[in-house]
A and B are shown apart, each in its own frame.
Chain A
Amino acid sequence: DIVMTQSPDSLAVSLGERATINCKSSQSVLYSSNNKDYLAWYQQKPGQPPKLLIYWASTRESGVPARFSGSGSGTDFTLTISSLQAEDVAVYYCHQYVSIPLTFGGGTKVEIK
């Protein structure tokens, strides 16, 4: 099984400042046949289902604000919120979809400082 480890567990960032969340997989999620990283990021607000933000490690889902960006390859990935807004308070999860069982990171809670 691919274990996804996120850090930190939580972080508090001032409005307008940058938030950075890390995700490390125990095995590469890069699929050599198409050279794509099978890594996604989700945002979950209280009482709501998760929302897909980023897939293929760095492709923003339609309608997701440009302040959200994903980077990394292989086993190390980052989600960056370039300028934190009040509506970005949520828990963020990374997710690998290259192999069964599909697995998620433990989540990172983002709050306003």
Chain B
Amino acid sequence: EVQLVESGGGLVQPGGSLRLSCAASGFSFSRYWMSWVRQAPGKGLEWVANIKQIGSEIYYVDSVKGRFTISRDDAKNSLYLQMNSLRAEDTAVYYCARDLPFDQWGQGTLVTVSS
């Protein structure tokens, strides 16, 4: 069974940092594009970043460029999102998702940026 389990969310002050993790199981993680998608409370879906197999290509939405870094560790079947200089508008549930289009999703981890 395919599973994606996010962790690392929480409450952080504006300007702070968090590192999200996504543990994958039940499939050959290294063979897939992986992405982070977020959803602000009561709002729609917003793609944040994605990373190709072996990290050979990486893309970000403009609003997080220079602040967020996506990475992967295929040996650990894990995806990461390092989030720095966090802003109130980054408050959202962050999902990791597999492939393009997104055929498997985790349950999400909530990031709240507030003083």
Contacts and interface: CB of A to CB of B under 8 A. Distances in A.
Contacts of B46: 104
Contact of B47 (A51, A103, A107): A103
A79 B108 CA distance: 26
B44 A93 contact: yes
Contact of A49 (B47, B100, B105): B105
A104 B101 CA distance: 11
Interface stretch (A16-24, A81-89, A94-102): A94-102
Contact-residue bracket for chain A = 20 to 34
B44 A102 contact: no
Interface in A30-70: 38, 40, 42, 44, 48-52, 55, 61
A74 interface: no
Interface in B59-80: 59, 61-62
Interface string B4-34: 0000000000000000000000000000000
Contact-residue bracket for chain B = 10 to 19
B3 to A, nearest CB: 12
Contact of A97 (B45, B61, B62, B100): B100
A106 interface: yes
Q: Determine the main DSSP class of A at the interface with B.
A: loop
Contacts of B45: 42, 44, 50, 93, 95, 104, 107
B106 A104 contact: no
A105 B45 CA distance: 8
A-B pairs, top 8 by smallest CB distance, nearest first, are: A40-B101, A49-B105, A102-B47, A104-B45, A100-B59, A97-B100, A107-B44, A101-B61
Interface of B: 35, 44-47, 50, 59, 61-62, 95, 100-103, 105-108
